[in-house]
Amino acid sequence: MKKLTAIVLGYGMRGRGYSSYAVDHPDRLEIVSVAEPVESKREYAKTRHNLPDDKLFTSWTEITALPKMADFAIISTQDKMHLEPALKCIELGYNILLEKPMAPTARECKIITEAAEKKGVKVIVGHVLRFTKFWYKLKDILDSGEIGDIMSIIHMENVGNTHYGHSFTRGNWSNSKRSSPMLLQKSCHDIDILQWLIGKDCKKVQSFGSLTHFTKENQPEGAPDRCLDGCPYLGKCYYDPVRFYITGPRTGWEEVVANKVDPTPDEIMEALRTGPYGRCVYACDNDVVDHQVVNMEFDGGCTVSFTMSAFNKGGRFIRIFGTKGEITAAHGENSISVYSFDTKETTVYDLDKIGETITSGHGGGDTGIMVDALKYFSGQPTSKSVCSLRDSYLNHLTVFAAEESRKTDNVIYIDEFSAKL
């Protein structure tokens, strides 16, 4: 396979995660240009990818104002900024690796899908869980027929209280008006995985959920709105930002706090004094839910109960019930247990302990998606993890329908919801 080239629009944690493949495999991928508004991140990209100054830009509009210069584009801007760069890259003929979610509204997702199909460019959405060893093995087991036909699934995404406190109360994804609903930004991974495992389309959804705990009403007595303004709970609070970002182990979140690559403790502390990550988690402008349940029925009658919750350690857990057996699996532990109705025995698949944390490359999925993306864009056979942009759009549509259900307290039929677009 020939080496491909890529431009990167947005060199934050996700853009850097994808482009790491070029650093590790320079014979397969070269990053030829980067657009990033933060100077320290641009400079990091310059050094990391050996880029000349004339290939570094502050905005995606500057790159896309030039003729096509690479085989594909990695679009990893903020959620609200996906539509316009995606459409411009499609117009220029770039294939695209588009960070999830595709866009913050169903209509924008539809516009991107139809534009790509009309132009004939290939687009992979960053559903990285499909490309992990864990979920791929689970898909293999189901496709083998080992547990027969899938009748029902219970699936949980445990966001983790620390991840929720960082990203969804103080952070970039805390407010749906600035980014997108919680179910879309965090759990479109899960809705996509469920459809992929089942192999059929979702027909209708029902959802309940709310923001209940991380509210002003639950702010501890005497706690100021900014944690470093003399909060009496520093050192005791689960969400103490000093414990989060300075005295605790490094997670990668520190650069988000300071908006700088590899910040010093003093720079982090200054950011906590003045920036959004120094706010009390009970006194932010967050509005996304902290717990939600989605009930789904798929073509053929398979039912799914999906729960997203902030109140846990973190990790994903799934139970799949089939006509010949059942599966119990935990992604964070990389364990899969299959019980057979025939033998009355349990087979345990103990996968490599690659783990899944917010900074571990999604359990290997960030690398896996790059391997398949390069094959896909080169016209070579890929693994079954790759799906069409149309399939990704339909899975996003299920998320939007679920959010509509949560807001209206109605069962939403996907076909009817789609027709309204």
* Per-residue model confidence as pLDDT tens digits over 330-363: 988 888 999 999 999 999 987 754 333 333 445 5
Total number of domains in the chain: 3
Q: What Rg, from alpha-carbon coordinates, does the chain have?
A: 22
Pair (205, 222) in one structural domain: no
pTM for this prediction: 0.94
Q: What CATH number should be reported for the domain holding residue 152?
A: 3.30.360.10
Q: Answer whether residue 374 is part of any domain.
A: no
Q: State whether 188 and 241 are in the same domain.
A: no
- The tens digit of pLDDT for each residue in 102-135 reads 999 999 999 999 999 999 999 999 999 999 989 9
In a shared domain, residues 154 and 301: yes
pLDDT score of 363: 53
The reply to whether 205 falls in a domain is: yes
Question: Final residue of a domain: which of 101, 125, 149?
Answer: 125
- The answer for residues whose C-beta is within 8 angstroms of residue 320's C-beta and 6 or more apart is 142, 147, 150, 152, 153, 197, 326, 327, 329
Assigned domain for 369 exists: no
Residues 33 and 108 in one domain: yes
| Intervals of the chain under pLDDT 70 | 352-364
Distances (CA, A) of 166 to 124, 196, 239, 240, 253: 28, 30, 8, 10, 8
Q: How far apart are CA 45 and CA 15, in angstroms?
A: 10
Task: Please list the residues that pair with 157 across neighbouring strands.
Answer: 308, 316
Query: Are 118 and 256 members of one domain?
Result: no
- Domain boundary pick from 102, 125, 148: 125
Q: Which domain holds residue 398?
A: 129-214+286-363+384-420
Q: Is residue 378 part of a domain?
A: no
- pLDDT score recorded for residue 160: 96
Structure confidence at residue 357 (pLDDT): 35
Edge to edge, what strands does the sheet with 72-75 contain?
Answer: 56-57, 29-35, 4-9, 72-75, 95-98, 123-125
Tell me what pLDDT residue 358 has.
34
Domain end: 243, 278, 313, which one? Answer: 278
